[in-house]
């Protein structure tokens, strides 16, 4: 069973559209994250939820809205997509909000490659 699963794996859409990416973790972790990886492979955190509560909200356009219906799910909705939103979006989870419990760090999903045309 996949520990952190994201859907879809690939998403190609036109500018101006609204799209959602879903993430689920079956590890029993309390904290989930969204990261954006740009074309230079630089990873930057966008949001973090701990037990459904938003704890990190980086400087991200309001067009991006995370939603956590329960602690096993963290979805990302993007409105009015722009060309610059093209990137790989990674969902991740950790046992606690510091990611230091035991030796776990973050567990990442396999990513969603978003292409805006």
Name the residues that contact another protein, by CB under 8 A.
4, 40-45, 48, 55-56, 90, 92, 97-100, 103-111
Smaller CB separation from another protein, 14 or 39: 39
Minimum Å distance from CB 19 to another protein?
Answer: 20
Q: Exposed (0-12), middle (13-18) or buried (19+): which is 108, by Cβ within 10 Å? A: middle
| Region for residue 48 given its phi and psi (left: phi exceeds 0; alpha: psi -120 to 50; beta: otherwise) | beta
Minimum Å distance from CB 112 to another protein?
Answer: 10
Smaller CB separation from another protein, 49 or 80: 49
Minimum Å distance from CB 2 to another protein?
Answer: 11
Smaller CB separation from another protein, 18 or 96: 96
Smaller CB separation from another protein, 64 or 90: 90
Q: Quick one: which of 72, 21, 31 has its CA closest to 54?
A: 31
Q: Count of alpha carbons within 13 Å of 96, Cβ hemisphere only?
A: 5
Look at strands 107-108 and 112-116 and give their pairing: unpaired
Minimum Å distance from CB 10 to another protein?
Answer: 10
CA gap 88, 41 in Å, rounded: 9
């Amino acid at each position: 069973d996949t520990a952190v699963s994201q859907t879809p794996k690939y998403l190609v859409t036109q500018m101006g559209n609204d799209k959602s990416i879903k993430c689920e973790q079956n590890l029993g972790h309390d904290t989930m994250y969204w990261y954006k990886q740009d074309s230079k492979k630089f990873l930057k955190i966008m949001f973090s939820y701990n037990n459904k509560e938003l704890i990190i909200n980086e400087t991200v356009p309001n067009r991006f809205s995370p939603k956590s219906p329960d602690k096993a799910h963290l979805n990302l909705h993007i409105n009015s997509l722009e060309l610059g939103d093209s990137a790989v979006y990674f969902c991740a989870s950790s046992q606690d909000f510091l990611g230091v419990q035991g030796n776990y760090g973050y567990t990442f999903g396999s990513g969603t490659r978003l292409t805006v045309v």
